[in-house]
Amino acid sequence: MNKYVEYVLITLWNFNPAHLRKNPVMFITEIAFFVSIYVLIFGSHYGIITSGQYIPFYIAVIILLFLTVFFSNLAESIAEGKSRDISRSLREMKKEIMGRLLDNGTETMVKSGDLRKGMIVEVRESEMVPTDGEIIEGRARFNESSITGESRPVFKVQGDSVTGGTTVIDGKVKIRITSDPGETFLDKMISMVEGAARAKTPNEIALSILLSGLTLSFLIVVSSMFALERFLINQANIIFLVILLICLIPTTIGALLPALGVAAINKVSQFNVIAKSGRAVENAGDIDTIILDKTGTITIGDREASKFYPNRGVSDEDFYARCYLCSIFDETKEGISVIKKIDEIKGELSMPKSDGYEFIPFTPETKYSGVKKGKDFIYKGSPNAIWEIVGSRDNAIDAICAEISSRGGTAMVVTSKKGVDGVIEFNDILKPWIRERIDSLKSMNIKPIMCTGDNELTAKYIAAEAGIDEFVANSKPLDKFKKVEEEKSLQRMVAMVGDGTNDAPALAKADVGFAMNSGTQAAKDAANMVDLDNDPTKLMDVIFLGKQILITRGALTTFSIANDISKYFVIIPAIFYAFPALSFINVLGFTNPLLALTSALIFNTFIIPLLIPLSIRGVKFKPSGVNDLLKRNIMIYGLGGILLPFIAIGGIYYIMAGVGIAW
């Protein structure tokens, strides 16, 4: 079916009162439409219509009221049509994939729909991941272009999440399934886009209550005018009051509000971000503080070993051997880079046997990793963590660490049973555009805070390069949580990025918790947004998008209210034109009240389709302070909303009068 035909059919279907009652403004407009039809058909029988000259007027009113409701439904249908397009493309990604289920040492090929949370599958080179899971063993490069559109392979190791439908390019991994059928990220994204999980946000609810209150107030006012009908117009009085009501109530924003809510979720989905609620998107627009991790957010994130500094009395060969041994089981990107760098430098170097060694993995709490066999051990980690193990500081090594930190590198100290062996230097670089993004955040009065596990010197250097004034060095998971709590205690809205299980408490506490799809299941469950592209900097894009959504809603509300105020000053003087004492407020010189009301209704009807593209696309957003945005809204949408009705309604009136239309 042609999508435009589909839009029209859905638009007509949405005339159903059960659908429209959710939108009080349009519900009243639809009632007015049916009342007008009733008056046209039965008006002469009850003495409402006493002259045939008003028949064309009634027909015109019915057509305009129908178009008002039609355009409102059309705005929502177009926005939902984009949702359907997104959900169709997402459904196309979902496939029935065969997975290699491991159960007590046996392998069984099963369909992805038969896999359940907790099951273990193995995925080999050139095979597809059957459903969402977490790597528990192995490492591999993945092609995630089916999900993210990005063709560059993604390297993943133990602890990383994988998404169903992605492909292993090389390597082999064992995966623990983390989602039952119907609960995968694609399922959740489809559910949100299609509206099954979408609810009105607090701002939408507040605006709906305001519009309902205004509509009820004008309904009471217009109803009370029956007592004045003999002073107003002798004929067509009921239709006159119907038009007056529709012109007075806030039909413009009432018509566009449903489309605005749908468009907000669509925009986030197009960023390849799953928003678990509309409130999360709205919160993004109100953020005052953003807590950013250093690695992968402010810097490129592929931190690699670059130089080796053996301590006094330790030969190069011995130091390389110990670095190699403490990294041989390390599946992190840093550990892999140590092995790769030593292979580049030494080639055929004979390394010690790793048999019998127990691997000690890195944790954010301990900040070191390595191997241990009995009383023998070799660890690499942050200087402070190693000094705690050793029990004292090594001034020479401290000096090397300070030098590395002063130029933005990261130092890892290597120690063994024999003492402190030396330092490995890891390098990462700032993302090239991060400074501009940070400046944009600061221009909107959003405070960026950098959290990093690096020492004070490295943190200070990176923060200064990125333009960040506040940072937390030697950061542990509890520090991130405390920072979120501290900022929220100052009545600030807080956003933060995280991908580890230890980030889950802070993600849950933040107003906007932004997790990576490659992160742990705990992090994704705690967050209210998940990025399928695994790009931590996208949180800043989401904040800009949230601002744009709020500004668009504010701009259209400002325009609508300004429009309504102008219409009062255009319509009411025309109604009372026969009273000389009030003629001074009839600035447009209208002498035909019915023609003036018809002109206002025409303007009221056709301003809605003119604003549909703006409501779906959004107001052009430029990062700036609240005061600047307020001034811009008032000047463009406030002043424009006041002037446009005078110009447009006056033009329509005199064109109609000029061609001889007079009811």
Q: What is the pLDDT of residues 144-168, one digit of tens each?
A: 776 666 667 777 877 777 888 888 9
Query: What is the reported pLDDT for 610?
Result: 92
Task: Please tell me whether residues 81 and 196 are part of one structural domain.
Answer: yes
Rounded average pLDDT over 637-659:
90
Q: Cβ neighbours of residue 230 under 8 Å, at least 6 residues apart?
A: none
**CB-CB contact of 468 with 461 (8 Å):** no
**CB-CB contact of 91 with 190 (8 Å):** yes
Task: Please tell me whether residues 295 and 397 are part of one structural domain.
Answer: no
Q: Cβ neighbours of residue 383 under 8 Å, at least 6 residues apart?
A: 397, 398, 401, 411, 413, 455
Q: What is the pLDDT of residues 504-530, one digit of tens each?
A: 888 889 999 998 876 777 788 888 888
> Mean pLDDT of all residues in the chain?
82
Task: Please tell me whether residues 234 and 261 are part of one structural domain.
Answer: yes
Query: What is the reported pLDDT for 1?
Result: 59
Rounded average pLDDT over 245-255:
85
* Range in 114-128, 175-189, 190-204 with the lowest mean pLDDT: 190-204
Q: What is the pLDDT of residues 526-555, one digit of tens each?
A: 888 888 777 777 888 888 888 888 888 888
Over 90: is that where the pLDDT of 66 sits? Answer: yes
The 3-state DSSP class for residue 509 equals helix
Rounded average pLDDT over 175-200:
72
Sheet containing strand 368-373, strands side by side:
304-310, 419-427, 410-416, 376-381, 368-373, 358-360
Query: Measured between alpha carbons, how far is 340 from 346 in angstroms, rounded to an integer?
Result: 10
Q: Is residue 591 included in any domain, yes or no? A: yes
Q: What is the pLDDT of residues 352-366, one digit of tens each?
A: 666 778 898 888 778
Tokens of 87: 């959900």
Q: Is residue 524 included in any domain, yes or no? A: yes
Distance of CA 286 to the CA centre of its chain: 12
Over 70: is that where the pLDDT of 268 sits? Answer: yes
Closest CA to 480 of 381, 363, 364, 387: 364
Task: Please tell me whether residues 216 and 158 are part of one structural domain.
Answer: no
Q: Which of 133, 160, 180 is the last residue of a domain?
A: 180
Rounded average pLDDT over 368-389:
91
CATH number of the domain to which 422 belongs: 3.40.1110.10
CATH number of the domain to which 132 belongs: 2.70.150.10
Between residues 639 and 498, the one the model is more confident about? 639
**CB-CB contact of 484 with 478 (8 Å):** no
Over 80: is that where the pLDDT of 195 sits? Answer: no
Query: Measured between alpha carbons, how far is 645 from 604 in angstroms, rounded to an integer?
Result: 9
Query: What is the reported pLDDT for 197?
Result: 46
Rounded average pLDDT over 27-36:
90
Q: Is residue 284 included in any domain, yes or no? A: no
CB atoms within 10 A of CB 524: 29
Over 70: is that where the pLDDT of 436 sits? Answer: yes
* Range in 224-228, 276-280, 437-441, 475-479 with the lowest mean pLDDT: 224-228
Q: Is residue 96 included in any domain, yes or no? A: no
* Range in 52-61, 464-473, 556-565, 579-588 with the lowest mean pLDDT: 579-588
Q: What one-character-per-residue DSSP string does 444-508 give? A: TTPEEEEE-SS-HHHHHHHHHHHT-SEEESS--HHHHHHHHHHHHHTT--EEEEE-SGGGHHHHH
Q: Is residue 281 included in any domain, yes or no? A: no
The conformational region for residue 202 under phi > 0 = left, psi -120 to 50 = alpha, else beta, is alpha
Beta-strand relationship, 447-451 and 289-293 = parallel
Query: What is the reported pLDDT for 662?
Result: 67
Rounded average pLDDT over 416-425:
93
Query: Measured between alpha carbons, how far is 30 from 36 in angstroms, rounded to an integer?
Result: 10
Q: Which of 141-150, 454-463, 586-595 has the highest mean pLDDT?
A: 454-463
Q: Provide the H-helix boundaries in 128-201.
A: 145-148, 185-194
Query: What is the reported pLDDT for 663?
Result: 63
**CB-CB contact of 138 with 120 (8 Å):** no
Q: Which of 393, 427, 461 is the last residue of a domain?
A: 427
CB atoms within 10 A of CB 245: 22
Q: What is the dihedral of CA 554, 560, 562, 567, to 10 degrees?
A: 180
Closest CA to 538 of 623, 612, 433: 433
As for how many domains the chain has, the answer is: 4
Task: Please tell me whether residues 585 and 519 are part of one structural domain.
Answer: no
Query: What is the reported pLDDT for 267?
Result: 78
Task: Please tell me whether residues 201 and 79 are part of one structural domain.
Answer: yes
Tokens of 77: 């249908």
Q: Which of 45-54, 82-91, 115-124, 493-502 has the highest mean pLDDT?
A: 115-124
Q: Is residue 93 included in any domain, yes or no? A: no
Task: Please tell me whether residues 196 and 172 are part of one structural domain.
Answer: no
Query: Measured between alpha carbons, how far is 297 from 308 in angstroms, rounded to an integer?
Result: 26
**CB-CB contact of 287 with 280 (8 Å):** no
Task: Please tell me whether residues 463 and 474 are part of one structural domain.
Answer: yes
Rounded average pLDDT over 361-377:
87
Q: Cβ neighbours of residue 59 under 8 Å, at least 6 residues apart?
A: 40
Between residues 53 and 272, the one the model is more confident about? 272
Whether the full predicted model's pTM is greater than 0.75, yes or no, is no
Query: What is the reported pLDDT for 521?
Result: 73
Query: What is the reported pLDDT for 602?
Result: 92
Task: Please tell me whether residues 25 and 46 are part of one structural domain.
Answer: yes
Q: What is the pLDDT of residues 280-316, one digit of tens each?
A: 887 888 889 999 888 777 887 667 899 999 999 999 9
Query: Measured between alpha carbons, how far is 248 from 651 in angstroms, rounded to an integer?
Result: 20
Q: Which of 132, 160, 293, 531 is catalytic?
A: 293
Q: Which of 146, 180, 214 is the last residue of a domain?
A: 180
Percentage with pLDDT > 90 across the chain: 20
343 tagged catalytic: no
Q: Is residue 94 included in any domain, yes or no? A: no
Query: Measured between alpha carbons, how far is 436 from 439 in angstroms, rounded to an integer?
Result: 5
Considering only CA atoms, give the Rg of the chain.
Answer: 33
Task: Please tell me whether residues 9 and 80 are part of one structural domain.
Answer: yes
* Full domain range(s) for residue 454: 289-300+430-531
Specify the amino acid at residue 333.
Answer: K
Query: What is the reported pLDDT for 234?
Result: 46
Task: Please tell me whether residues 446 and 473 are part of one structural domain.
Answer: yes
* Range in 180-194, 329-343, 415-429 with the lowest mean pLDDT: 180-194
Task: Please tell me whether residues 523 and 549 are part of one structural domain.
Answer: no
Q: Which of 37-46, 278-287, 312-321 has the highest mean pLDDT?
A: 312-321
CATH number of the domain to which 454 belongs: 3.40.50.1000
* Range in 270-284, 407-421, 551-565 with the lowest mean pLDDT: 270-284
CB atoms within 10 A of CB 604: 28
Residue with tokens 């026969």: 578
Q: Is residue 125 included in any domain, yes or no? A: yes
Between residues 426 and 229, the one the model is more confident about? 426
Over 60: is that where the pLDDT of 236 sits? Answer: no
**CB-CB contact of 267 with 549 (8 Å):** yes
CB atoms within 10 A of CB 221: 12
